[in-house]
Amino acid sequence: MLEETQEREEIIERIAALDIGKATLVCCARLPDPARPGRRLQEVDTYSTMTRSLLRMADRLRQLGVTRVVMEATSDYWKPVFYLLEAAGFQTWLVNARDVKHLPGRPKTDRLDAVWLCKVAERQMLRPSFVPPPEIRMLRDLTRYRVDLVAAQTAEKNRAEKLLEDAQIKLSVVASDIFGVSGRAMMAALIAGERDPGRLAQLARSTLRRKIGTLEEAFVGRFSEHHAFLLAKMLTRIDAIEADIADVDAQIEVRIAPFAQAATRLEQIPGVGAIAARAIIAEIGTDMSRFPTPAHLASWARFSPKVNESAGRKKGSSATGHGNPYLARTLGQAAVSAARTPTFLGERYRRIARRRGAKRAIVAIGRSTLIVIWHILGDAQATFHDLGADFYDSRINPERRARNHIRQLEALGYTVTAERPQPQAA
């Protein structure tokens, strides 16, 4: 039986496609032939990726009446071209290179790639990738750079700890954080030339003073001037990165100001702190109209299992695939933090982790968090309401709970007879 579909075959009348490299790009523009209805004209030109050349290309596309410009996400080379054309008023689309599949045996050159991309795009066979607006992009640059700075600082701290181990200084065995107040004072004394274990141990502060004896043993080593030189450089670098992180945080607060209300509401979600809320907004923005449903957002972020079915049988793995690594890292950290809380998300994590393992539980809680985020950002009046850790228990069928308890008691060797109490007469 024939059924009517929602699709309509539409041709974008005036469209251009770009094959972008580092130094040059190939631009293919296609438009209707006024002399022969139903036929198309095309122009293919090569331009430098320098700004003046790109401006000339924009002027030419404007003369041709081009309304949409499509380009593949090639490394980071697409960004300046995309931003310039976006500012010039064109409808710019960034598309995934995997969606632009070439026919087998088709020759592949930059020119042919641009023509093929233009032909596929004019027939509405491509979907645009999500590119946030400029204010979100600037916030994203800051939050991503902060992640990189924290990673660099962590790497430097690891080097410092390995250096101490090399000198047989076992400070990390005794102190949980060797870069706290006590640890920094002890390392500064080592750099200054102090080698006496007793004097070094006396620099301990607060609760670490309970371990004075163990600390003295930890400082019996072979710390030399060579180690002192390297440790001084490492600590200087750690402090410099710390200062850079503080500066970046200050800039993030400036950029997040227009979205402060949304960030505050996101912080109500278990596991989502101030830093995570800013990172989430930087990655997905605040306009949820770009994602028609929560499932669209979860799919874009690769927090949904892939569907691969043929001949009625599911094939291959249902793994989520690779999505936005910065967003995935933030959601994973939020999931781990939520797992320690007496909340609905915490209990959901524990239930899934018992049956499927911690990794699957993290993905599941990440998806649940994304769904909550979509609703909060999609409605300016929405706030987070926790269903509670007892949500599952309070809604499980009482008879099923009784059967489970009886089964558990029988597994322990008990004989159980269950009787339902008779209702008392009024």
Q: For the segment 377-408, what is each residue's pLDDT rounded down to a tens digit?
A: 999 888 899 988 888 777 777 777 788 888 88
Tell me what pLDDT residue 126 has: 83
Cα–Cα distance measured from residue 130 to residue 84, given in angstroms and rounded to the nearest whole number:
17
Across the range 67-85, mean pLDDT stands at: 90
Residues with Cβ < 8 Å from 159, sequence gap 6 or more?
234
- Look up the pTM and report it: 0.82
Is the predicted pLDDT of residue 307 greater than 90, yes or no? no
Q: Provide CB contacts within 8 A for 95, sequence distance 6+.
A: 70, 71, 72, 73, 117, 121, 126, 127, 128, 129
The full set of domain ranges for the chain reads: 15-122, 136-257
The percent of residues in the chain predicted with pLDDT above 90, rounded, is 64
Residue 426, pLDDT score: 53
Q: In the predicted model, is pLDDT for residue 311 greater than 70? A: no
Residue 152 has pLDDT above 60, yes or no: yes
d(C-alpha 15, C-alpha 125), whole Å: 13
The listed CATH number (3.40.50.1980, 1.10.3720.10, 2.40.100.20, 3.30.420.10) that belongs to domain 15-122:
3.30.420.10
Q: Over 60: is that where the pLDDT of 100 sits?
A: yes
| Nearest alpha-carbon partner for 171 in 126, 203, 140, 141 | 203
Q: What is the pLDDT of residues 215-274, one digit of tens each?
A: 999 999 999 999 999 999 999 999 999 999 999 999 999 999 999 999 999 999 999 999
- The mean pLDDT of the chain is 88
Q: How confident is residue 415, by pLDDT bands cut at 50, 70 and 90?
A: confident
> What local confidence, expressed as pLDDT, does residue 240 receive?
97
Question: Rounded to whole angstroms, what are the CA distances from 134 to 92, 131, 145, 216, 255?
Answer: 14, 9, 17, 56, 11
pLDDT tens string 359-382:
999 999 999 999 999 999 999 888
Mean pLDDT calculated for residue range 308-336: 73
pLDDT band of 306, cuts 50, 70, 90: low
In this structure, which long-range contacts are made by residues 76-85, counting pairs with CB atoms below 8 Å and at least 24 apart in sequence?
77/20, 77/21, 77/22, 77/49, 78/20, 80/49, 80/51, 80/54, 81/18, 81/20, 81/25, 81/49, 81/54, 82/131, 83/134, 84/51, 84/54, 84/55, 84/58, 85/54, 85/58, 85/61
Are 35 and 44 in contact by the 8 Å Cβ rule? The answer is no
Q: What is the pLDDT of residue 105?
A: 60
- For residue 182, the model assigns a pLDDT of 94
Query: How far is it, in rounded angstroms, from Cα 358 to Cα 338?
Result: 13
Lowest mean pLDDT: which of 158-167, 315-324, 409-418?
315-324
User: What is the average pLDDT across 115-129?
Assistant: 86
Instruction: Give the whole-angstrom CA distance, residue 213 versus residue 203.
Output: 12
